[in-house]
Amino acid sequence: MKIYNSATRKKEELVPLHEGEIRMYACGPTVYNYFHIGNARPFIIFDVLRRYLEYRGYKVTFVQNFTDIDDKMIKRANEEGITVKELGDKYIQEYYQDAAALGIRPATVHPRATEHIGDIIKLIKRLEKNGLTYTVNGDVYFDTKAFPGYGKLSGQNLDDLEAGARIDIDTSKKHPADFALWKASKPGEPFWNSPWGPGRPGWHIECSAMSMKYLGETFDIHGGGKDLLFPHHENEVAQSEGATGKQLARYWMHNGFINIDNEKMSKSAGNFFTVRDILKEFSAEDVRFFMLSAHYRSPLNFSRDMIAQAHASLVRLYNVRDQLLFCQGHAEDKPLSAEDEAMMARLDEYVARFDAAMDDDLNTADALGVLFSMVQDINVSLSVSSPLRALVKAYDTLTALTDVLGLLMQKAELKLPEDIQRLVDARQAARQSKDWQQSDALRNQLQERGYIVEDTAQGQSVRRAIK
Protein backbone atom coordinates (compact mmCIF):
# COMPACT_ATOMS: atom_id res chain seq x y z
CA MET A 1 0.00 0.00 0.00
CA LYS A 2 1.16 3.52 -0.78
CA ILE A 3 -0.05 6.56 1.12
CA TYR A 4 0.62 10.24 0.64
CA ASN A 5 2.87 11.35 3.46
CA SER A 6 2.29 15.01 4.33
CA ALA A 7 5.75 15.12 5.92
CA THR A 8 7.56 14.25 2.68
CA ARG A 9 4.85 15.54 0.29
CA LYS A 10 4.86 12.35 -1.77
CA LYS A 11 3.36 8.89 -1.89
CA GLU A 12 5.36 6.31 0.00
CA GLU A 13 5.06 2.59 0.51
CA LEU A 14 3.53 1.81 3.90
CA VAL A 15 6.15 -0.17 5.80
CA PRO A 16 5.03 -0.80 9.40
CA LEU A 17 7.41 -0.29 12.28
CA HIS A 18 6.49 -3.76 13.55
CA GLU A 19 5.77 -6.46 10.97
CA GLY A 20 2.09 -7.28 10.64
CA GLU A 21 1.05 -4.46 12.95
CA ILE A 22 -0.06 -0.87 12.41
CA ARG A 23 -0.23 1.69 15.20
CA MET A 24 -2.18 4.80 14.30
CA TYR A 25 -3.50 7.95 15.97
CA ALA A 26 -6.15 10.35 14.75
CA CYS A 27 -7.21 13.57 16.45
CA GLY A 28 -10.66 13.32 17.96
CA PRO A 29 -13.24 15.96 18.87
CA THR A 30 -13.23 18.71 21.46
CA VAL A 31 -16.35 17.67 23.31
CA TYR A 32 -18.26 20.91 23.85
CA ASN A 33 -20.91 20.32 21.16
CA TYR A 34 -22.13 17.75 18.66
CA PHE A 35 -19.44 17.18 16.05
CA HIS A 36 -19.97 18.92 12.71
CA ILE A 37 -20.00 17.63 9.16
CA GLY A 38 -16.37 18.71 8.67
CA ASN A 39 -15.31 16.59 11.66
CA ALA A 40 -17.22 13.63 10.26
CA ARG A 41 -14.93 13.36 7.25
CA PRO A 42 -11.71 12.44 9.08
CA PHE A 43 -13.64 10.24 11.51
CA ILE A 44 -15.03 8.25 8.55
CA ILE A 45 -11.79 8.29 6.52
CA PHE A 46 -9.62 6.91 9.32
CA ASP A 47 -12.29 4.37 10.20
CA VAL A 48 -12.07 3.12 6.60
CA LEU A 49 -8.26 3.10 6.73
CA ARG A 50 -8.40 0.99 9.86
CA ARG A 51 -10.98 -1.38 8.32
CA TYR A 52 -8.91 -1.77 5.17
CA LEU A 53 -5.68 -2.47 7.04
CA GLU A 54 -7.48 -5.12 9.10
CA TYR A 55 -8.97 -6.58 5.90
CA ARG A 56 -5.40 -6.87 4.57
CA GLY A 57 -4.40 -8.82 7.67
CA TYR A 58 -2.76 -6.20 9.89
CA LYS A 59 -3.29 -6.03 13.62
CA VAL A 60 -4.33 -2.39 14.08
CA THR A 61 -4.10 -0.41 17.30
CA PHE A 62 -6.10 2.76 16.72
CA VAL A 63 -6.15 5.62 19.21
CA GLN A 64 -8.50 8.59 18.92
CA ASN A 65 -8.61 11.09 21.77
CA PHE A 66 -11.24 13.27 23.35
CA THR A 67 -10.15 16.82 24.20
CA ASP A 68 -12.17 17.39 27.37
CA ILE A 69 -10.47 20.49 28.79
CA ASP A 70 -10.22 23.58 26.63
CA ASP A 71 -11.20 27.28 26.51
CA LYS A 72 -14.31 26.46 24.44
CA MET A 73 -15.37 23.82 26.93
CA ILE A 74 -14.97 26.18 29.88
CA LYS A 75 -17.03 28.85 28.10
CA ARG A 76 -19.79 26.40 27.11
CA ALA A 77 -19.96 24.81 30.58
CA ASN A 78 -20.36 28.25 32.14
CA GLU A 79 -23.14 29.06 29.67
CA GLU A 80 -24.98 25.84 30.54
CA GLY A 81 -24.37 26.17 34.26
CA ILE A 82 -22.66 22.77 34.56
CA THR A 83 -19.12 21.60 35.24
CA VAL A 84 -16.61 21.04 32.45
CA LYS A 85 -16.60 17.34 33.33
CA GLU A 86 -20.39 17.12 33.05
CA LEU A 87 -20.19 18.85 29.67
CA GLY A 88 -17.48 16.46 28.49
CA ASP A 89 -19.36 13.38 29.69
CA LYS A 90 -22.49 14.56 27.88
CA TYR A 91 -20.88 15.20 24.50
CA ILE A 92 -18.66 12.13 24.59
CA GLN A 93 -21.83 10.06 24.77
CA GLU A 94 -23.35 12.13 21.96
CA TYR A 95 -20.20 11.49 19.91
CA TYR A 96 -20.60 7.73 20.30
CA GLN A 97 -24.25 7.96 19.22
CA ASP A 98 -23.54 9.95 16.05
CA ALA A 99 -20.40 7.97 15.24
CA ALA A 100 -22.31 4.69 15.52
CA ALA A 101 -25.01 6.03 13.19
CA LEU A 102 -22.28 6.83 10.63
CA GLY A 103 -20.81 3.33 10.93
CA ILE A 104 -17.67 4.55 12.72
CA ARG A 105 -16.34 1.83 14.98
CA PRO A 106 -14.98 2.76 18.42
CA ALA A 107 -11.20 3.16 18.51
CA THR A 108 -9.04 0.63 20.33
CA VAL A 109 -8.53 3.35 22.94
CA HIS A 110 -10.40 6.65 23.37
CA PRO A 111 -8.25 8.51 25.92
CA ARG A 112 -9.46 11.68 27.62
CA ALA A 113 -7.01 14.52 28.19
CA THR A 114 -8.16 15.02 31.79
CA GLU A 115 -7.31 11.39 32.61
CA HIS A 116 -3.70 11.88 31.48
CA ILE A 117 -2.61 14.98 33.38
CA GLY A 118 0.25 13.04 35.02
CA ASP A 119 1.55 11.90 31.60
CA ILE A 120 1.30 15.47 30.30
CA ILE A 121 3.26 16.90 33.25
CA LYS A 122 5.98 14.25 32.80
CA LEU A 123 6.30 15.17 29.13
CA ILE A 124 6.58 18.90 29.88
CA LYS A 125 9.27 18.14 32.49
CA ARG A 126 11.27 16.25 29.82
CA LEU A 127 11.03 19.26 27.54
CA GLU A 128 12.07 21.52 30.39
CA LYS A 129 15.09 19.32 31.10
CA ASN A 130 16.05 19.52 27.40
CA GLY A 131 16.02 23.33 27.50
CA LEU A 132 12.98 23.72 25.23
CA THR A 133 10.65 25.61 27.58
CA TYR A 134 10.38 28.86 29.50
CA THR A 135 7.93 29.95 32.18
CA VAL A 136 6.10 33.27 32.47
CA ASN A 137 3.78 33.82 35.45
CA GLY A 138 2.96 30.14 35.76
CA ASP A 139 2.46 29.64 32.01
CA VAL A 140 4.92 27.21 30.42
CA TYR A 141 5.74 27.82 26.74
CA PHE A 142 7.54 25.74 24.15
CA ASP A 143 10.50 27.70 22.81
CA THR A 144 10.24 27.14 19.05
CA LYS A 145 13.58 28.80 18.31
CA ALA A 146 15.30 26.29 20.58
CA PHE A 147 14.02 23.40 18.42
CA PRO A 148 15.91 23.40 15.09
CA GLY A 149 13.36 21.32 13.19
CA TYR A 150 10.34 23.52 13.82
CA GLY A 151 8.29 23.89 10.63
CA LYS A 152 9.49 20.72 8.90
CA LEU A 153 6.07 19.03 8.80
CA SER A 154 4.09 21.96 7.39
CA GLY A 155 6.92 23.60 5.46
CA GLN A 156 6.60 26.79 7.49
CA ASN A 157 9.71 28.91 7.95
CA LEU A 158 9.99 30.06 11.55
CA ASP A 159 11.69 33.31 10.55
CA ASP A 160 8.74 34.17 8.29
CA LEU A 161 6.06 33.47 10.87
CA GLU A 162 4.57 36.64 12.32
CA ALA A 163 1.75 37.24 14.74
CA GLY A 164 -1.45 37.20 12.71
CA ALA A 165 -4.56 35.29 11.87
CA ARG A 166 -3.16 31.83 12.59
CA ILE A 167 -1.05 32.63 15.65
CA ASP A 168 -2.42 34.40 18.70
CA ILE A 169 -0.68 37.64 19.66
CA ASP A 170 0.72 37.27 23.16
CA THR A 171 3.24 39.79 24.47
CA SER A 172 4.47 37.33 27.10
CA LYS A 173 5.88 35.02 24.43
CA LYS A 174 9.44 35.27 23.08
CA HIS A 175 8.27 34.44 19.56
CA PRO A 176 4.74 34.51 18.10
CA ALA A 177 5.00 30.81 17.16
CA ASP A 178 5.74 29.73 20.75
CA PHE A 179 2.82 27.84 22.24
CA ALA A 180 1.53 27.00 25.71
CA LEU A 181 2.32 23.64 27.22
CA TRP A 182 0.79 24.52 30.59
CA LYS A 183 -1.62 27.37 31.38
CA ALA A 184 -1.76 28.95 34.83
CA SER A 185 -5.19 28.69 36.40
CA LYS A 186 -7.65 31.55 36.31
CA PRO A 187 -10.44 32.12 38.85
CA GLY A 188 -13.35 29.75 38.36
CA GLU A 189 -11.50 27.42 35.95
CA PRO A 190 -10.69 23.74 36.52
CA PHE A 191 -7.06 23.22 37.53
CA TRP A 192 -4.52 20.58 38.47
CA ASN A 193 -1.41 21.01 40.59
CA SER A 194 1.93 20.97 38.81
CA PRO A 195 5.59 21.93 39.38
CA TRP A 196 4.74 25.32 37.81
CA GLY A 197 1.70 25.93 39.97
CA PRO A 198 -2.00 25.15 39.54
CA GLY A 199 -3.22 25.13 35.96
CA ARG A 200 -4.23 22.99 33.00
CA PRO A 201 -2.53 21.63 29.89
CA GLY A 202 -2.32 23.30 26.52
CA TRP A 203 -4.12 21.63 23.63
CA HIS A 204 -1.10 20.43 21.64
CA ILE A 205 0.70 18.66 24.49
CA GLU A 206 -2.37 16.55 25.21
CA CYS A 207 -2.18 14.68 21.89
CA SER A 208 1.56 14.06 22.21
CA ALA A 209 1.21 12.61 25.69
CA MET A 210 -1.75 10.39 24.82
CA SER A 211 -0.45 9.12 21.47
CA MET A 212 2.95 8.16 22.90
CA LYS A 213 1.42 6.53 25.99
CA TYR A 214 -0.61 4.06 23.96
CA LEU A 215 1.42 3.72 20.76
CA GLY A 216 5.03 4.32 21.82
CA GLU A 217 7.41 7.20 21.17
CA THR A 218 7.41 6.34 17.45
CA PHE A 219 4.36 4.91 15.70
CA ASP A 220 3.16 4.35 12.15
CA ILE A 221 0.40 6.78 11.14
CA HIS A 222 -0.89 10.07 12.50
CA GLY A 223 -4.00 11.46 10.83
CA GLY A 224 -6.36 14.40 10.96
CA GLY A 225 -7.96 17.16 8.97
CA LYS A 226 -5.85 19.43 6.77
CA ASP A 227 -6.71 22.32 9.11
CA LEU A 228 -4.68 20.60 11.86
CA LEU A 229 -1.45 20.41 9.85
CA PHE A 230 -0.36 23.78 11.22
CA PRO A 231 -0.04 24.64 13.99
CA HIS A 232 -1.45 21.63 15.88
CA HIS A 233 0.43 18.78 14.21
CA GLU A 234 3.54 20.90 13.72
CA ASN A 235 3.55 21.56 17.46
CA GLU A 236 3.01 17.88 18.21
CA VAL A 237 6.11 17.05 16.20
CA ALA A 238 8.19 19.72 17.93
CA GLN A 239 7.24 18.83 21.49
CA SER A 240 7.28 15.03 20.99
CA GLU A 241 10.58 14.89 19.14
CA GLY A 242 12.00 17.62 21.36
CA ALA A 243 11.36 15.37 24.35
CA THR A 244 12.37 11.99 22.92
CA GLY A 245 14.81 12.76 20.12
CA LYS A 246 12.83 10.25 18.03
CA GLN A 247 10.52 10.59 15.05
CA LEU A 248 6.92 10.78 16.29
CA ALA A 249 4.93 9.42 13.33
CA ARG A 250 6.41 7.82 10.23
CA TYR A 251 3.45 8.79 8.03
CA TRP A 252 1.19 11.82 8.29
CA MET A 253 -2.21 11.78 6.55
CA HIS A 254 -4.48 14.81 6.16
CA ASN A 255 -7.93 14.92 4.58
CA GLY A 256 -9.25 17.85 2.54
CA PHE A 257 -11.89 20.36 3.54
CA ILE A 258 -15.65 20.16 3.10
CA ASN A 259 -17.47 23.06 1.49
CA ILE A 260 -21.21 23.63 1.77
CA ASP A 261 -22.83 24.43 -1.58
CA ASN A 262 -19.40 25.56 -2.87
CA GLU A 263 -18.80 27.87 0.08
CA LYS A 264 -16.49 27.42 3.06
CA MET A 265 -18.41 26.21 6.09
CA SER A 266 -18.63 28.85 8.81
CA LYS A 267 -21.07 29.92 11.49
CA SER A 268 -21.03 33.51 10.19
CA ALA A 269 -22.14 32.31 6.73
CA GLY A 270 -25.02 30.38 8.27
CA ASN A 271 -23.93 27.12 6.63
CA PHE A 272 -22.50 25.40 9.69
CA PHE A 273 -24.08 21.99 10.31
CA THR A 274 -23.55 19.41 13.00
CA VAL A 275 -23.98 15.78 12.05
CA ARG A 276 -27.00 15.71 14.34
CA ASP A 277 -28.56 18.47 12.18
CA ILE A 278 -27.79 16.58 8.97
CA LEU A 279 -29.27 13.32 10.27
CA LYS A 280 -32.63 15.01 10.77
CA GLU A 281 -32.82 15.30 6.99
CA PHE A 282 -30.61 12.56 5.55
CA SER A 283 -29.71 8.95 6.22
CA ALA A 284 -26.42 8.47 8.09
CA GLU A 285 -25.36 5.90 5.52
CA ASP A 286 -26.06 8.37 2.70
CA VAL A 287 -23.67 10.78 4.43
CA ARG A 288 -21.01 8.10 4.80
CA PHE A 289 -21.28 7.09 1.13
CA PHE A 290 -21.01 10.74 0.13
CA MET A 291 -17.83 11.14 2.20
CA LEU A 292 -16.24 8.20 0.39
CA SER A 293 -17.26 9.33 -3.09
CA ALA A 294 -14.19 11.56 -3.46
CA HIS A 295 -10.53 10.96 -2.67
CA TYR A 296 -9.88 11.86 0.95
CA ARG A 297 -7.26 14.51 0.09
CA SER A 298 -9.57 16.29 -2.35
CA PRO A 299 -11.96 19.04 -1.28
CA LEU A 300 -15.54 17.82 -1.08
CA ASN A 301 -18.65 19.86 -1.76
CA PHE A 302 -21.64 19.03 0.42
CA SER A 303 -25.01 19.66 -1.21
CA ARG A 304 -28.46 18.11 -1.14
CA ASP A 305 -28.05 16.97 -4.75
CA MET A 306 -24.85 15.12 -3.85
CA ILE A 307 -26.54 13.39 -0.93
CA ALA A 308 -29.44 12.42 -3.20
CA GLN A 309 -26.93 10.86 -5.62
CA ALA A 310 -25.31 9.00 -2.73
CA HIS A 311 -28.73 7.66 -1.70
CA ALA A 312 -29.50 6.44 -5.22
CA SER A 313 -26.14 4.67 -5.37
CA LEU A 314 -26.74 2.99 -2.03
CA VAL A 315 -30.15 1.78 -3.20
CA ARG A 316 -28.42 0.06 -6.13
CA LEU A 317 -26.02 -1.69 -3.76
CA TYR A 318 -28.82 -2.78 -1.43
CA ASN A 319 -30.91 -4.01 -4.36
CA VAL A 320 -28.23 -6.32 -5.66
CA ARG A 321 -27.22 -7.51 -2.19
CA ASP A 322 -30.74 -8.48 -1.26
CA GLN A 323 -31.38 -10.15 -4.60
CA LEU A 324 -28.18 -12.16 -4.18
CA LEU A 325 -29.28 -13.21 -0.71
CA PHE A 326 -32.67 -14.22 -2.06
CA CYS A 327 -31.02 -16.28 -4.81
CA GLN A 328 -28.49 -18.10 -2.64
CA GLY A 329 -30.83 -20.88 -1.55
CA HIS A 330 -31.81 -21.49 -5.17
CA ALA A 331 -28.24 -21.49 -6.46
CA GLU A 332 -26.41 -23.75 -4.04
CA ASP A 333 -27.83 -27.03 -5.37
CA LYS A 334 -27.02 -26.27 -9.00
CA PRO A 335 -24.04 -27.90 -10.76
CA LEU A 336 -21.03 -25.68 -11.42
CA SER A 337 -21.25 -24.40 -14.99
CA ALA A 338 -18.78 -22.77 -17.34
CA GLU A 339 -20.64 -19.50 -16.76
CA ASP A 340 -20.12 -19.94 -13.02
CA GLU A 341 -16.39 -20.45 -13.44
CA ALA A 342 -16.09 -17.43 -15.73
CA MET A 343 -17.99 -15.20 -13.32
CA MET A 344 -16.00 -16.43 -10.32
CA ALA A 345 -12.81 -15.48 -12.15
CA ARG A 346 -14.24 -12.04 -12.88
CA LEU A 347 -15.14 -11.61 -9.19
CA ASP A 348 -11.52 -12.32 -8.28
CA GLU A 349 -10.49 -9.62 -10.76
CA TYR A 350 -12.88 -7.12 -9.17
CA VAL A 351 -11.39 -7.84 -5.75
CA ALA A 352 -7.89 -7.30 -7.14
CA ARG A 353 -8.97 -3.99 -8.71
CA PHE A 354 -10.67 -2.89 -5.47
CA ASP A 355 -7.53 -3.68 -3.49
CA ALA A 356 -5.39 -1.83 -6.02
CA ALA A 357 -7.55 1.29 -5.68
CA MET A 358 -7.38 1.19 -1.89
CA ASP A 359 -3.64 0.49 -2.01
CA ASP A 360 -3.24 3.68 -4.03
CA ASP A 361 -3.47 6.14 -1.14
CA LEU A 362 -6.87 4.91 0.06
CA ASN A 363 -8.67 5.83 -3.16
CA THR A 364 -12.24 5.12 -2.04
CA ALA A 365 -13.69 6.88 -5.09
CA ASP A 366 -12.02 4.42 -7.46
CA ALA A 367 -12.87 1.53 -5.14
CA LEU A 368 -16.55 2.48 -5.36
CA GLY A 369 -16.20 2.58 -9.15
CA VAL A 370 -14.97 -1.01 -9.08
CA LEU A 371 -17.89 -2.01 -6.85
CA PHE A 372 -20.41 -0.62 -9.31
CA SER A 373 -18.72 -2.32 -12.26
CA MET A 374 -19.08 -5.56 -10.32
CA VAL A 375 -22.73 -4.78 -9.53
CA GLN A 376 -23.45 -4.23 -13.22
CA ASP A 377 -21.88 -7.60 -14.00
CA ILE A 378 -23.86 -9.31 -11.22
CA ASN A 379 -27.10 -7.76 -12.45
CA VAL A 380 -26.59 -9.41 -15.85
CA SER A 381 -26.30 -12.78 -14.11
CA LEU A 382 -29.35 -12.06 -12.00
CA SER A 383 -31.40 -11.48 -15.15
CA VAL A 384 -30.99 -15.05 -16.42
CA SER A 385 -33.68 -17.59 -15.67
CA SER A 386 -31.44 -20.14 -13.90
CA PRO A 387 -29.47 -18.96 -10.85
CA LEU A 388 -25.73 -19.42 -11.04
CA ARG A 389 -23.56 -20.99 -8.34
CA ALA A 390 -21.34 -17.94 -8.74
CA LEU A 391 -24.07 -15.83 -7.15
CA VAL A 392 -23.14 -17.30 -3.76
CA LYS A 393 -19.58 -16.06 -4.22
CA ALA A 394 -20.90 -12.76 -5.57
CA TYR A 395 -22.83 -12.21 -2.33
CA ASP A 396 -19.78 -12.99 -0.19
CA THR A 397 -17.57 -10.73 -2.31
CA LEU A 398 -19.98 -7.80 -2.28
CA THR A 399 -20.53 -7.96 1.47
CA ALA A 400 -16.79 -8.28 2.18
CA LEU A 401 -15.86 -5.23 0.08
CA THR A 402 -18.71 -3.05 1.29
CA ASP A 403 -17.78 -3.96 4.87
CA VAL A 404 -14.31 -2.51 4.24
CA LEU A 405 -16.02 0.78 3.37
CA GLY A 406 -18.53 0.47 6.22
CA LEU A 407 -21.49 0.34 3.83
CA LEU A 408 -24.63 -1.82 3.69
CA MET A 409 -24.95 -1.52 7.45
CA GLN A 410 -28.63 -2.47 7.44
CA LYS A 411 -28.95 -6.21 7.71
CA ALA A 412 -31.12 -8.06 5.25
CA GLU A 413 -34.42 -9.22 6.69
CA LEU A 414 -34.27 -12.97 6.15
CA LYS A 415 -37.71 -13.62 7.62
CA LEU A 416 -40.46 -11.14 6.89
CA PRO A 417 -43.06 -10.22 9.51
CA GLU A 418 -46.18 -12.37 9.15
CA ASP A 419 -48.43 -9.52 7.95
CA ILE A 420 -45.87 -8.51 5.32
CA GLN A 421 -45.42 -12.11 4.19
CA ARG A 422 -49.21 -12.41 3.70
CA LEU A 423 -49.16 -9.38 1.38
CA VAL A 424 -46.20 -10.84 -0.52
CA ASP A 425 -47.95 -14.20 -0.91
CA ALA A 426 -51.17 -12.48 -2.04
CA ARG A 427 -49.23 -10.50 -4.63
CA GLN A 428 -47.55 -13.67 -5.89
CA ALA A 429 -51.00 -15.28 -6.29
CA ALA A 430 -52.26 -12.20 -8.14
CA ARG A 431 -49.31 -12.37 -10.54
CA GLN A 432 -49.85 -16.07 -11.19
CA SER A 433 -53.49 -15.36 -12.06
CA LYS A 434 -52.33 -12.34 -14.13
CA ASP A 435 -54.37 -9.92 -12.03
CA TRP A 436 -51.94 -7.06 -12.65
CA GLN A 437 -54.17 -4.42 -11.07
CA GLN A 438 -54.28 -6.33 -7.77
CA SER A 439 -50.54 -7.04 -8.05
CA ASP A 440 -49.80 -3.32 -8.37
CA ALA A 441 -52.14 -2.45 -5.50
CA LEU A 442 -50.40 -4.94 -3.22
CA ARG A 443 -46.99 -3.61 -4.27
CA ASN A 444 -48.16 -0.12 -3.26
CA GLN A 445 -49.38 -1.41 0.11
CA LEU A 446 -45.98 -3.00 0.75
CA GLN A 447 -44.24 0.22 -0.24
CA GLU A 448 -46.41 2.18 2.21
CA ARG A 449 -45.31 -0.28 4.91
CA GLY A 450 -41.66 0.40 4.06
CA TYR A 451 -40.92 -2.59 1.81
CA ILE A 452 -39.73 -2.65 -1.77
CA VAL A 453 -40.75 -5.49 -4.10
CA GLU A 454 -38.81 -6.32 -7.25
CA ASP A 455 -39.66 -9.01 -9.76
CA THR A 456 -36.61 -11.04 -10.79
CA ALA A 457 -36.07 -14.09 -12.95
CA GLN A 458 -36.05 -16.08 -9.69
CA GLY A 459 -39.31 -14.59 -8.35
CA GLN A 460 -40.24 -11.75 -6.04
CA SER A 461 -37.41 -10.09 -4.12
CA VAL A 462 -38.63 -8.21 -1.06
CA ARG A 463 -36.56 -5.92 1.16
CA ARG A 464 -37.07 -3.16 3.65
CA ALA A 465 -36.45 0.30 2.15
CA ILE A 466 -33.23 1.87 3.41
CA LYS A 467 -33.77 4.74 5.80
Q: Are residues 383 and 460 in the same domain?
A: no
Q: Are residues 172 and 26 in the same domain?
A: yes
Q: Are residues 212 and 338 in the same domain?
A: no
Q: Residue 395: its pLDDT value, please?
A: 93
Q: Are residues 348 and 427 in the same domain?
A: no
Residue 368 is part of which domain span?
Answer: 307-405
Q: Are residues 342 and 223 in the same domain?
A: no
What is the 3-class SS of 102-136, one letter each residue? CCCCCCCECCEHHHHHHHHHHHHHHHHHCCCEEEE
Q: What is the CATH number of the domain that holds 379?
A: 1.20.120.640
Q: Are residues 94 and 158 in the same domain?
A: yes
Q: Which of 374, 405, 436 finishes a domain?
A: 405
Q: How far apart are CA 248 and CA 243, in angstroms?
A: 10
Q: How many CA atoms lie within 13 A of 458 on its CB side?
A: 20
In this prediction, residues 371-386 reach a mean pLDDT of 85
Q: What is the CATH number of the domain that holds 127?
A: 3.40.50.620
pLDDT greater than 50 at residue 82? yes
Is 63 a domain residue? yes
What is this structure's pTM? 0.89
Q: Which of 255, 276, 295 finishes a domain?
A: 255
Spatial contact of 34 and 91, defined as CB atoms under 8 Å apart: yes
Q: Each residue of 147-184: pLDDT tens digit?
A: 999 999 999 888 777 544 345 556 689 999 999 999 99
Q: How many CA atoms lie within 13 A of 117 on its CB side?
A: 16
pLDDT greater than 60 at residue 458? no
Q: Are residues 325 and 249 in the same domain?
A: no
More confident residue, 423 or 467: 423
Spatial contact of 91 and 31, defined as CB atoms under 8 Å apart: yes
pLDDT greater than 80 at residue 278? yes
In this prediction, residues 16-30 reach a mean pLDDT of 98
**Pick from 1-10, 143-152, 208-217, 264-273: least confident:** 264-273
- Cis peptide bond N-terminal to 231, omega within 30: yes
Q: Are residues 204 and 70 in the same domain?
A: yes
In a 10 Å sphere around its CB, with 0-12 CB exposed, 13-18 middle and 19+ buried, how is residue 70 labelled?
Answer: buried
Number of structural domains in the chain: 3
Is 263 a domain residue? no
Angle at Cα 178 formed by Cα 239 and Cα 76, nearest 5°?
90
pLDDT band at 352 (very low <50, low <70, confident <90, very high): very high
- List, as one string, the DSSP characters of 141-167: EE-GGGSTTTTTTTT--GGG--SBTTB
Is 143 a domain residue? yes
Of 334, 325, 333, residue with least CA distance to 461: 325
Q: How far apart are CA 348 and CA 70, in angstroms?
A: 50
Helix (H) or strand (E) holding 453: strand 451-456
Q: How far apart are the first and last CA of the chain?
A: 35
Is 413 a domain residue? no
In this prediction, residues 439-450 reach a mean pLDDT of 90
Q: Residue 199: its pLDDT value, please?
A: 98
Is 2 a domain residue? no
Q: Which of 215, 240, 255 finishes a domain?
A: 255
pLDDT greater than 70 at residue 330? no
Q: Are residues 158 and 110 in the same domain?
A: yes
More confident residue, 272 or 190: 190
Q: Are residues 35 and 135 in the same domain?
A: yes
Q: Are residues 443 and 366 in the same domain?
A: no
Is 277 a domain residue? no
